[in-house]
Structure 1
Amino acid sequence: MNQVQKLLIIGFVWPEPNSSAAGGRMMQLISLFKEQGFSITFVSPAQDSDFMVDLEKCGVDKKSIELNNSSFDVFIKELNPTVVLFDRFMMEEQFGWRVAENCPDALRLLDTEDLHCLRLARQKAFKEKRPFNTTDLFLEDVAKREIASILRCDLSLMISEFEMELLESVFKIDKNLLYYLPFLLEPIDIVEIHELPSFEERKNFIFIGNFLHEPNWNAVQYLKETIWALIKKQLPEAILHIYGAYPSQKVLQLHNNKEGFLIMGRAIDAQDVVKNSRVVLAPLRFGAGIKGKLLEAMQCGTPSVTTFIGSESMHDDLPWNGFVVDSVADFTDAAVRLCQDKTIWLKAQQNGITIINQRYLKELFKDDFAKKVKMLQSDLQKHRLTNFMGAMLQHHTLNSTKYMSRWIEVKNK
């Protein structure tokens, strides 16, 4: 194609790579498209935050947009992007119809982050004290919205192979609408391994995670109420540092010096605090996607103890970076063993580095992704013709969401 390739990213929030895995993921996608020579504009209806990345320093144009405002139509017509990337399905719901109407030839991509309906259905099953079943997904209104959004887009980027299989088997989504693109990392070489703090130089347990994310808050409650006292019984001198952006008052109230349960708040440098910790604890009881905190632990050479939900779709058949267990007794035992046994700890560290180098290298995915984008652009109409459900949903969305949005715009005036 001869025209300048322009990517428009419509962000749910401004990227905060030091606050959440989602922010890091977005910066990886930006890097991927920049390497392909795209001119990139990032827009969002969200308020600026103190911790957002400086996009303009990264060579990305930044612009604030409004919900339910036709000024977006004028903006996108003038920009005339060749590719539009929606950051989570909520942005496709709000702006997808405007993109389709004003730039019908633009390739529409959706970055799902994780399947929201899966996370919410699992959370509901957990709170109702019953096992999760895939049929629970059909009861979630979010599933209807999220699947409709996936169908309306030309391609959805998935970070979890498990979730791709779920979409194909449970919701019967055509696999041509889905593309596996996990977190994209740089390799860890032997020199970097030797530069990491040693077993002896590290101390303490750590949990890290954004507290706006419900699974993280629940995991910290689980540690406080059930697990930590059992670890402390075996390791009386042990300390657990809880780090995370946006802690609420109920999180801060868990701080207890006597128990060695310390709420540290936002980490100025997340990798630094993880690198200097001996073991990451992540007893996640519900959730979806792949867990940025556990990949970060591997990058930092820090073994982890997590649950089967925590490790889901992250390591294939490769041995875990520590232990994957679901019972309280097993979790406690694994945490103590990793903290005390250097041999087990070093083996776990090596397992994590192997997982990074075999499953998450940017080099493994970037060329194929570039080819996929070009292939879709070269025959976009044919691709859309095979997606009748998407075309039908797009038709009805244009007629319903469009007029609702116009009504809200008039009402706001």
Structure 2
Amino acid sequence: MRALLVGYVWPEPNSSAAGARIAQLLASLNSAGYEVHFACAAALSDHQMDLAAVNVTAHEIALNCESFNEFVARLNPAVVIFDRFVTEEQFGWRVSQACPDAMRVLDTEDLHSLRAARETLLKRELKTDPNAGPVLVDDGALFDSMRQSDMILREVAAIFRCDLTLMISEKEIALLTQYFSVPSSLLYHLPFMVEPCERTLSDYAEREHFVTIGNFRHAPNWDAVLWLKQSIWPQLRKQVPGAELHIYGSYPPKKATQLSNPKEKFFIKGWAADALAVIGAARVLLAPLRFGAGIKGKLMDAMLTQTPSVATSIASESMHGDCPWPGTIADTAEDFAAAAAQLYSDENVWKIASDGTKQLLNARYRYPQLSFLWLQHLNQLRDNLFQHRQRNFLGAMFQYHAARSTEFMSRWIEAKSRVQG
């Protein structure tokens, strides 16, 4: 039995949370006995994972090309997973035509329209308050903001067209079901799935400095670096004068590297070959995200290395449920700096938070249990796929109209390319 994951980009687990998420899904499918394939139309990258080493067959595919229909028909997968809604828009109708019996699954990574709405709200706030903290508005205000863009229409349409959508955030499930009329039967909550860290971890006395990490191409991460530079770090370094701030992340632009300032002990380190190593060497991880969506890979890595963290409400959203946060949640620059200074300087407070990382991981992110349950749900839906689709009338309607509009546009691009070629 074959499973095909159609990627938006080639997975880079060491560069982004999205890459780590894809690696976890591939491992989960492998463990269930699927013959796993990964296909992508993006350019190859220097940091992409070695798919062959994890028993996954890689395929380079083309956008707007009939060759994909031929490829997927030959492969004849039982399950096709689309990495983000834009990938479903491009290839979903082709899978539906070539392999109508294949179960179509969307992995949202995060709700892009929620992230975009919060970014818009933050930019509006920054016009009047340059030191504004994270976007903290109620769900009604989020709905009003999300509704201003057609992105939510595209995302929800993709969700309806698929048989199942994997959601990483409980917050996003609540928004979709309560405000956008998405049936809960189309959604499945699947957070990060992780195994315990097997490396030897340093204790309080062996660690030093603050750390943060995140792909610089991801807008919330870049904004967090700016907030650190302009508002948080000037206060924090006064409270802990001997400490440094190390900022890691893939693809740092020149405007980021230019922020590095040894006199201020503010260092842009760039790409980390081993994220767990650099986080595990630090005493405290900082996650000052002012907007965003989904759940955060940097905070998951902090838990894996038993590193206490200071996070905003946006950064910690949907990550801890009823469990205490292993560190502090703070939403102003002043509170954030004070909390980070206390965690860094007070060994007893640090150890309580460090121990809390293990409790939270065990409560919410254990790979064996999560993998078993989602694959069980997947197989149950596959066994009853006809009945499931019969109940999803809106999905059939969206599939019909999207297939027509997207197909004709894609075929026009394909024909134009042949003529120009």
Which TM-score applies when normalising by structure 1? 0.96
User: Could you tell me which of 182, 198, 202 is aligned with 1:173?
Assistant: 182
User: Could you tell me which of 64, 67, 71 is aligned with 1:68?
Assistant: 64
After superposition, what is the alpha-carbon deviation per residue over 1:59-100, rounded to whole angstroms, capped at 9, x for unaligned?
111111111000111111111111000001010000000000
User: Could you tell me which of 352, 367, 382 is aligned with 1:347?
Assistant: 352
Q: Which residue of 1 aligns with 2:28?
A: 32
Instruction: Please tell me whether residue 264 in structure 1 is matched to residue 269 in structure 2.
Output: yes
Instruction: Please tell me whether residue 277 in structure 1 is matched to residue 282 in structure 2.
Output: yes
User: Take 1:403 and 1:389, find their aligned partners in 2: how far apart are those partners?
Assistant: 21
User: Take 1:181 and 1:114, find their aligned partners in 2: how far apart are those partners?
Assistant: 11
What secondary structure is seen at the aligned counterpart in 2 of 1:332?
helix
Q: Which residue of 2 aligns with 1:87?
A: 83
Q: Which residue of 1 aligns with 2:244?
A: 239
Q: Which residue of 1 aligns with 2:119?
A: 123
The alpha carbon displacement at 1:364 in A equals: 2.1
Which amino acid counterpart does residue 117 of structure 2 have in structure 1? A
Alignment of 1:381-396 (within 5 A): 381-396=386-401
User: Take 1:353 and 1:53, find their aligned partners in 2: how far apart are those partners?
Assistant: 27
User: Take 1:92 and 1:61, find their aligned partners in 2: how far apart are those partners?
Assistant: 20
The unaligned stretches of length 5 or more in structure 1 are none
After superposition, what is the alpha-carbon deviation per residue over 1:118-138, rounded to whole angstroms, capped at 9, x for unaligned?
000000000011864222111
What secondary structure is seen at the aligned counterpart in 1 of 2:268?
strand
User: Could you tell me which of 211, 219, 223 is aligned with 1:218?
Assistant: 223
The unaligned stretches of length 5 or more in structure 2 are 126-134
Which amino acid counterpart does residue 184 of structure 2 have in structure 1? K
After superposition, what is the alpha-carbon deviation per residue over 1:251-273, rounded to whole angstroms, capped at 9, x for unaligned?
01100000000010001111101
Which TM-score applies when normalising by structure 2? 0.95
User: Take 2:324 and 2:106, find their aligned partners in 1: how far apart are those partners?
Assistant: 31
Root-mean-square deviation (Å)? 1.1
Tell me if the contact between 1:110 and 1:157 (Cα under 8 Å) persists in the aligned partners: yes
Which amino acid counterpart does residue 333 of structure 1 have in structure 2? A
- 197-206 or 357-366, larger mean C-alpha shift: 357-366
Q: Which residue of 1 aligns with 2:12?
A: 16
Q: Which residue of 2 aligns with 1:164?
A: 173
Q: Which residue of 1 aligns with 2:150?
A: 141
What secondary structure is seen at the aligned counterpart in 1 of 2:204?
coil
After superposition, what is the alpha-carbon deviation per residue over 1:98-119, rounded to whole angstroms, capped at 9, x for unaligned?
0001100000000110000000
Tell me if the contact between 2:173 and 2:187 (Cα under 8 Å) persists in the aligned partners: yes
Tell me if the contact between 1:85 and 1:111 (Cα under 8 Å) persists in the aligned partners: yes
What secondary structure is seen at the aligned counterpart in 2 of 1:375?
helix
- 238-247 or 370-379, larger mean C-alpha shift: 370-379
The alpha carbon displacement at 1:237 in A equals: 1.9
Tell me if the contact between 2:284 and 2:307 (Cα under 8 Å) persists in the aligned partners: yes
Q: Which residue of 2 aligns with 1:333?
A: 338
Tell me if the contact between 1:7 and 1:41 (Cα under 8 Å) persists in the aligned partners: yes
Which amino acid counterpart does residue 166 of structure 1 have in structure 2? L
Q: Which residue of 2 aligns with 1:404?
A: 409
Alignment of 1:180-329 (within 5 A): 180-187=189-196, 195-329=200-334
User: Take 1:266 and 1:171, find their aligned partners in 2: how far apart are those partners?
Assistant: 38
User: Take 1:379 and 1:233, find their aligned partners in 2: how far apart are those partners?
Assistant: 61
Which amino acid counterpart does residue 71 of structure 1 have in structure 2? S
User: Take 2:354 and 2:291, find their aligned partners in 1: how far apart are those partners?
Assistant: 25
What secondary structure is seen at the aligned counterpart in 1 of 2:106?
strand
User: Take 2:370 and 2:304, find their aligned partners in 1: how far apart are those partners?
Assistant: 18
After superposition, what is the alpha-carbon deviation per residue over 1:150-194, rounded to whole angstroms, capped at 9, x for unaligned?
110000001111111111001010000000111001146xxx69x
User: Take 2:167 and 2:136, find their aligned partners in 1: how far apart are those partners?
Assistant: 25
Q: Which residue of 2 aligns with 1:78?
A: 74
User: Take 1:22 and 1:16, find their aligned partners in 2: how far apart are those partners?
Assistant: 8
Which amino acid counterpart does residue 155 of structure 2 have in structure 1? E
Give runs of ≥4 in structure 1 deviating > 4 Å: none
User: Take 1:351 and 1:234, find their aligned partners in 2: how far apart are those partners?
Assistant: 25
Tell me if the contact between 1:125 and 1:131 (Cα under 8 Å) persists in the aligned partners: no
User: Take 2:180 and 2:229, find their aligned partners in 1: how far apart are those partners?
Assistant: 38
Q: Which residue of 1 aligns with 2:46?
A: 50
Q: Which residue of 1 aligns with 2:130?
A: none
What secondary structure is seen at the aligned counterpart in 1 of 2:262?
coil
